[in-house]
Amino acid sequence: MEDEQQITLANEPAEVDRTASEPELVAVSSPAVPSLNTGERKEVVKRSRMSAVVVHETIREEGERELRRSPAALALSGLGAGLSMGFSLVTQGLIHACLPPNAPWAPLLENFGYCVGFLIVVLGRQQLFTENTLTAILPLLAHFNRRMILRVARLWAIVLLANLCGALIFAWVISHTEIFTPAIQHAFAQVSMHSLRGGFGLVVLRGIFAGWLIALMVWLLPNSGNTRLHVIILITYVVALGGFAHIIAGSVDVLYLVNKGIISWLTYLGGFMIPTLIGNILGGVSLVAVLNFAQVASEKLGNGYGGVKTP
């Protein structure tokens, strides 16, 4: 009889541990507080913040998808992003034209207009170059080889060129048509002049801060939930209020001045585009992508991911 029971038990499927697949709680149980049941443990996990590893993998997988997209899809999305960024200048100029001249508090209001282009691009899932200083670099750091380097270079080249083409088209349209009154166009020129502040070194530094903040925004978004809108507005507002240099948003400004004959192409290239591009890449790649990848990689080594648990 005992042999039959043993055979029956052996043939029955083993009971599945339902909690094994659940994320493990970090906090150690204490006799001072009551123990949690399975439902309560799940609720704690549900309300916990996303870990740095999960954020990293979310962005890395998005980067992998972007690297697999066709050149045509990247170019069209990048062109759309460049055009959309033009609405930052338009909104800033419209607000600027409605405010009293030389009011010391005016920048606090008009710089909110800078956020509009970013809202369209980020929520519309369009390809913006400064976002790719993080999303495309994380797959490269995870699989650093010649093939991945070429894929990242292809993505960067296509998206940057498409973004700049969109910015140029938008700047040409608003500067050579009568869609806006002369007073509004004068406001556009006043707003755009802020993008040319400082020499080469200062513009590089301003570009580093802009690239740093925009890449940080991308890092924050997976964990922001229903506050995505607030994160985008807050970060881009700081970029505008601080006078930091963004390669695409600023290109709309400076290319508007070029089309109006206020500055030359040489001034745009040497005084804005090249130093800003250098700064954005340094800020996005070194200060966000590399540091956050190093954080996740060191956590994996230090905490024994992959089957080795620390006590």
- What does the pLDDT read at residue 244? 97
User: What digits encode the pLDDT tens for the residues 177-231?
Assistant: 999 999 999 999 999 999 999 999 999 999 999 999 999 999 999 988 899 999 9
Residue 187 lies in a domain: yes
The CB-side HSE value for 179 (13 A sphere, CA atoms) comes to 11
**How far is Cα 45 from Cα 188, in angstroms, rounded to an integer?**
49
Give the rounded percent of residues in the chain with a pLDDT score beyond 90: 68
Residue 92 lies in a domain: yes
Residue 7 lies in a domain: no
**How far is Cα 55 from Cα 49, in angstroms, rounded to an integer?**
10
SS (H, E, C) 43-78: HHHHHCCCCHHHHHHHHHHHHHHHHHCCHHHHHHHH
User: Looking at the 3D structure of the chain, how many domains does it have?
Assistant: 1
Higher-confidence residue of 145 and 35: namely: 145
- What does the pLDDT read at residue 39? 73
Residue 45 lies in a domain: no
Question: Taking 50 as the threshold, does the pLDDT of residue 306 lie above it?
Answer: no
User: What digits encode the pLDDT tens for the residues 7-23?
Assistant: 444 444 444 444 434 44
**How far is Cα 204 from Cα 50, in angstroms, rounded to an integer?**
33
Question: Taking 80 as the threshold, does the pLDDT of residue 258 lie above it?
Answer: yes
CATH code for position 130 = 1.20.1080.10
Q: Which region among 10-19, 96-105, 142-151, 279-288 has the lowest average model confidence (pLDDT)? A: 10-19
Q: Are 130 and 210 in contact (CB under 8 A)?
A: yes
Residue 163 lies in a domain: yes
**How far is Cα 210 from Cα 235, in angstroms, rounded to an integer?**
9
Residue 306 lies in a domain: no
| Integer angstrom CA distances of residue 304 from 45, 140, 297, 299, 308 | 21, 23, 11, 8, 5
Looking up tokens 């938008």, which residue turns up? 170
Looking up tokens 């030359």, which residue turns up? 264
**Residue 173: closest CA among 255, 79, 117, 247:** 255
| Integer angstrom CA distances of residue 89 from 27, 71, 96, 230, 279 | 49, 28, 10, 20, 21
Give the structural domain span for 229. 52-300
- What does the pLDDT read at residue 102? 87
- What does the pLDDT read at residue 149? 95
Residue 30 lies in a domain: no
CB-based burial, 90-126: b 16+ in 10 Å, e otherwise: bbbbbbbbeeeeeeeeebeebbbbbbbbbbbbbeeeb
pTM (2 d.p.)? 0.81
Residue 165 lies in a domain: yes
How high does pLDDT run on average in the chain?
86
- What does the pLDDT read at residue 298? 79
How many helices (DSSP H) and strands (DSSP E) are in the chain? 16, 0
Q: How confident is the model at residue 300 (pLDDT cuts 50, 70, 90)?
A: low
Highest mean pLDDT among 2-6, 10-14, 160-164: 160-164
User: What digits encode the pLDDT tens for the residues 74-106?
Assistant: 999 999 999 999 999 999 999 999 999 889 999
Q: Is 83 exposed, middle or buried (0-12, 13-18, 19+ CB in 10 A)?
A: buried
Residues 24-42: what's their mean pLDDT?
Answer: 63
**How far is Cα 106 from Cα 83, in angstroms, rounded to an integer?**
26
